[in-house]
């Protein structure tokens, strides 16, 4: 599924800003809108169109982006504007169809994560994009961090000895309102279509994908086994407190323990466990701490290459894509395992409590908290263990999940 070397398809001259359309400009799409604004100011792109069910107001659009055409029809918008790139930040179950519609009409694609809700959809999309000669970048922004090659060098230099495993931890909090923000939020399926909007596959997907990358196991064929535990404290269909352990072809275990019901929310991280120390990567901060045995720790901060910027450079200069679809194949194996696993186990009423959320009066939000989950998340990443192995009182025995 290597799509890093697509044909040029008439890319715009380097001196002209590359025309871009944005599909899904609200919610997380606001981040993309601001990022396009930044790259517009640098002369690299221009916003040719916005695709949303409701046109953006002048206030929502803001300054610096001109007057892009707005339409709810992405295919028509790409055709009329001559957009060379479509940034797609829409509901998960719409990703494949929109990516293919844009590519068929001449656009390359920056696609939000998770790429698709099933491995079959992923394969259909990748094969279709290849047929259209379209480049595709998957929006795992953490994989643009310059910290990643720095960590690889620390490992190859033997700073922490032989790698014995990779652990990821994510303890976040989300109000109950988070699951009512959109019709698909917190769903495994919607109107008969897969959605798979769980904590492992969407909010903390970066933790899983980054851990797989650091484990040298980001392609589909790198996965040889998946153990999975899915739980939920909230009244939703999908999971909000889960863990996974992935066996890789290279023999390195990759484990992730995550929750949206933290007591004290913190920065998610990935830890490389060596037999003579460890390396911790706070991927949202691009911060690395190396702790060799017998030596003082060292902390460094790193830059990051923006994925849209990288896609533009790929189209103009042949720069290698940072996150082509094939480099997310292992992550999609995890998505498929979550999709086909039994429904998440609801936690008993005595396993969680309700606290005030981040909302404000008169409609104060609430959130559900699982006591002890912060400690379990930390221990899972440290010991590469599942919640059941850590003797969480509400955890069931782990299940080996089939994967394609």
Per residue in 266-314, pLDDT (tens digit) is 999 999 999 999 999 999 999 999 999 999 999 999 999 999 999 999 9
Give me the mean pLDDT over the 177-202 stretch. Answer: 96
| Domain 18-134 indexed as CATH 3.40.50.720 | yes
Calculate the CA 348 to chain-centre distance: 29
The ranges assigned to domains in the chain are 18-134, 147-303+325-400
User: In this model, does residue 361 exceed pLDDT 60?
Assistant: no
Antiparallel, parallel or unpaired: β 189-190 and 223-232: unpaired
CB 332 within 8 A of CB 316: no
Across the chain, mean pLDDT equals: 94
Cβ neighbourhood burial of 17 (10 Å; 0-12, 13-18, 19+): middle
User: In this model, does residue 188 exceed pLDDT 80?
Assistant: yes
- What torsion, rounded to 10 degrees, do the Cα atoms 385, 195, 5, 302 define? -50
Tens digits of residue pLDDT in 330-339: 999 999 999 9
Q: Please report which helix (H) or strand (E) contains residue 163, including its range.
A: strand 163-171
With bands split at pLDDT 50, 70 and 90, how would you rate the model's confidence at 358? confident
Tens digits of residue pLDDT in 59-95: 999 999 999 999 999 999 999 999 999 999 999 999 9
Antiparallel, parallel or unpaired: β 163-171 and 189-190: unpaired
Residue with tokens 């086994």: 225
More confident residue, 394 or 364: 394
Give me the mean pLDDT over the 318-345 stretch. Answer: 98
Assign domain 147-303+325-400 one CATH number from 3.30.360.10, 3.40.50.10090, 3.30.9.10, 3.30.450.20.
3.30.360.10
Cβ neighbourhood burial of 263 (10 Å; 0-12, 13-18, 19+): middle
Nearest CA among 75, 125, 83 for reference residue 102: 75
C-alpha–C-alpha distance, residues 172 and 125, integer Å = 31
User: In this model, does residue 162 exceed pLDDT 60?
Assistant: yes
SS3 278: strand
Cβ neighbourhood burial of 285 (10 Å; 0-12, 13-18, 19+): middle
C-alpha–C-alpha distance, residues 218 and 222, integer Å = 7
């Amino acid at each position: 599924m290597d799509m890093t070397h697509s044909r040029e398809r008439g890319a715009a001259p380097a001196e002209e800003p590359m025309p871009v359309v944005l599909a899904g400009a609200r919610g997380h799409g606001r981040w993309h809108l601001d990022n396009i604004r930044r790259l517009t100011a640098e002369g690299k792109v221009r916003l040719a169109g916005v695709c949303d069910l409701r046109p953006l107001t002048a206030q929502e659009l803001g300054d610096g982006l001109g007057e892009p055409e707005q339409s709810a029809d992405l295919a028509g918008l790409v055709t009329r504007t001559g957009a060379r790139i479509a940034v797609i930040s829409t509901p998960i179950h719409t990703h494949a169809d929109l990516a293919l519609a844009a590519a068929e009409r001449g656009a390359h694609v920056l696609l939000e994560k998770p790429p698709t809700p099933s491995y079959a959809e992923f394969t259909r999309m990748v094969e279709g994009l290849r047929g259209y000669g379209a480049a595709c970048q998957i929006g795992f922004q953490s994989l643009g961090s310059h910290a990643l090659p720095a960590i690889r060098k620390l490992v190859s230099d033997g700073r922490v000895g032989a790698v014995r495993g990779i652990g990821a931890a994510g303890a976040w909090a989300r109000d109950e309102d988070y699951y009512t923000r959109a019709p698909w939020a917190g769903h495994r399926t919607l109107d008969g279509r897969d959605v798979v909007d769980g904590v492992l596959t969407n909010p903390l997907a970066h933790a899983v994908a980054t851990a797989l990358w650091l484990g040298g196991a980001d392609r589909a064929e790198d996965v040889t086994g998946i153990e999975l535990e899915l739980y939920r404290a909230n009244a939703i269909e999908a999971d909000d407190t889960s863990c996974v352990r992935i066996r890789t072809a290279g023999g390195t275990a990759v484990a992730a323990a995550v929750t949206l019901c933290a007591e004290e929310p913190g920065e998610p991280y990935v830890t490389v466990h060596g037999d003579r120390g460890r390396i911790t990567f706070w991927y949202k901060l691009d911060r690395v701490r190396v702790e060799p045995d017998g030596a003082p720790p060292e902390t460094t901060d790193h830059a990051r290459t923006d994925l849209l910027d990288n896609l533009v450079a790929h189209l103009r200069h042949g720069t290698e894509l940072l996150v082509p679809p094939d480099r997310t194949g292992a992550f999609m194996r995890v998505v498929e395992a979550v999709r086909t696993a039994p429904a998440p186990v609801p936690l008993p009423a005595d396993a969680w409590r309700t606290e005030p959320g981040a909302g404000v009066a008169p409609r104060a939000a609430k959130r559900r908290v699982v006591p002890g989950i912060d400690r379990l998340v930390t221990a899972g990443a440290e010991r590469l263990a599942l919640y059941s192995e850590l003797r969480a009182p509400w955890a069931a025995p782990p299940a080996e999940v089939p994967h394609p």
